Each structure stands twice: as structure tokens, then as C-alpha cells.
Structure 1
Amino acid sequence: DEKVIGWIAFDHSSNRKRTSHTGSFELMVHNSYRGLGVGEKLLTALLHWAEKNPSIEKVSLAVFSTNQKAISLYKKMGFIEEGRKIKEFKINDHEYWDDVLMYKLV
């Protein structure tokens, strides 16, 4: 119905020589369409593009530690956790979430 149900945005800053081989992405799928393979299709398209782009060698992402469905998808797609920013997000006075950093070499 010509509605946007998801998007993926890749940030590749080629003006920095030391990091020009890397890029990171953000992925969003509307709540009503989660679990239907939309995110996997978007990510597959991005990885296919990255593999054909000779300047891209590493694709990275950051995800909330509480988003286990997304983390499972990323692991299924070959991403590896490379670190965490502990208590990066303060949800309320007593709750914090880590920011999980993941990557895949293409």
C-alpha cells in the first residue's frame, strides 16, 4: 500500500583515510511488520551491496542489549560482537541498557 514499513541507512565516511574501509548502519522495521523477514531482507541487500563495493571491508552496528531478536538476526547474518558500551542508555533511575557493538567483514 506504498507505506514505509522499514528502512536501512548506511553511513560510510570516505573522507577519513584510516576508516574509509568501514561503515555502520541503522535498521528500523515498523512494529507491525517485525518477525516477517523485512529486516533480514534489508540487511541482505545492504551486505550484497557492501560485498560488491571494493572500498567497504567492514560493516558495523550498535544495538540495545535488550533487543535480543535483533541481536539474534545479526548473529545469524554473520555479525560478531566486538564490544559493549556499559550502561550507555539510562532508561530510568534504576535501569540502564548497554550498547552492543557488532561487526562483519565483507
Structure 2
Amino acid sequence: MSKAIIRTARIEDAEAVLDIQREVVTEKDYFIAVAEEINKTTEEHQEWIRKIFDHERETMLVAEVDNKVVGWIVFRSQERKRMHHTGSFAIMLQKNYRNQGIGKLLIHELLSWAEQHPVIEKVSLGTFSTNTRAIELYKKLGFVEEGRKVREFKFSDNEYVDDVLMYKLVK
């Protein structure tokens, strides 16, 4: 496999980012939304990316392999003044590119960005309690479990999953 390149997302990446999101959602194991809720157009996704870049405390990075976007990570900040120092991220990778260190590269690059940012001090995330591989990776990267929202997600009548809340202080 070719080496992954991590770079800042561009507006023209919107379609690839949206395709990855649609793909991951169909797997049902990693994302809060269900497939029918992902109904944005490419143009709406372009506007979403544009708003991220217009916000001084937010960023989006993509992973590229052989000039193809195969994953992305987005960091969104809090609007409340007392929470400007915090934000959380979401990350998605195409299935064929998982378990190759690309997610780790995306997170490292995001953490590097956050460490250099004059305001960001705390990077957070939430993940399904069933996503044990991701939780393991986050712990290896220095994230700490901060708490859980018990039975936060309902998959079927008697199938619930906790939301595991994790964080890392970067300053």
C-alpha cells in the first residue's frame, strides 16, 4: 500500500468526505446517524467545510492515498465563551484503509494542530462502547475516559450502547 498523506481538507474534497460518511453509516457500527439521515448534497457539504475553515478554532484534515481521499477528521469547537478552549472530533475511514495506521496519523496531526493553537487546551471525543479497537487506540494516544452516557444509543428494542466520553489535555 502507498503511504498516506495527511493534509488540510479543501472545498473540493466535499464529495469524497460525504461518500466516506455514507459508507461508514451503512456499516451501522460506528456512527450515530443512520443511512437515511445522511441526505446532504455535495453543495451543502461544501458549505459545511467552508464554515469550518471560517471558524478560527475548528479544522478538518483528510488522509489521501494515491491522490484519493480515504479518510477524514474534523474538530469542532464550542461556541460558549467559557468553553472556547475545548472541542471534539469525529473521524472516519473507508473500510479498506482501516488498521493501517491512517486513523492514528489523522489523530496525531489533529493533536499537533491543537497543541499549536493559541486557545485549544482540551480535545474530546465520544464513541460507542462497542468500538473497543478505537477506544484502545485513543488510550494509546493518551486519551482518558472521562465518563459514559449509559444506554445513550438505541439500536433495537433491547439493544443499547453506551457513549464513552474521552479527552486529552494538549496544554
Which has the bigger relative contact order, CA under 8 A and spacing at least 6? 1
- AA matched with 1:51: E
User: 138, 141, 154: which is aligned to 1:77?
Assistant: 141
Post-superposition Cα deviations, 1:21-46, rounded to whole Å, max 9, x if no partner, equal: 00100011111111000100000000
TM-score by length of 1: 0.95
Greater per-residue strand proportion = 1
Which residue of 2 is the match for residue 5 of structure 1?
Answer: 70
User: 144, 157, 171: which is aligned to 1:93?
Assistant: 157
Question: Aligned-pair distance for 1:60?
Answer: 0.3
Does the residue aligned with 2:69 lie in a helix, a strand or coil? coil
Question: Aligned-pair distance for 1:2?
Answer: 2.9
- AA matched with 1:58: K
Correspondence list, 1:2-81, <5 A: 2-13=67-78, 15-81=79-145
Give the number of the structure whose alpha-carbon radius of gyration is greater: 2
Post-superposition Cα deviations, 1:48-106, rounded to whole Å, max 9, x if no partner, equal: 00000120000000001000110011000000000101001111111100000000000
- AA matched with 1:77: L
Runs of 4+ in 1 over 6 A off after TM superposition: none
Rounded to whole Å, the distance in 2 between the matches of 1:92 and 1:4 is 33
Please report the RMSD computed on the Cα atoms of aligned residues, expressed in angstroms: 0.9
Pairs aligned (count): 105
Rounded to whole Å, the distance in 2 between the matches of 1:5 and 1:79 is 24
TM-score by length of 2: 0.60
Rounded to whole Å, the distance in 1 between the matches of 2:69 and 2:166 is 26
Give % identity: 62
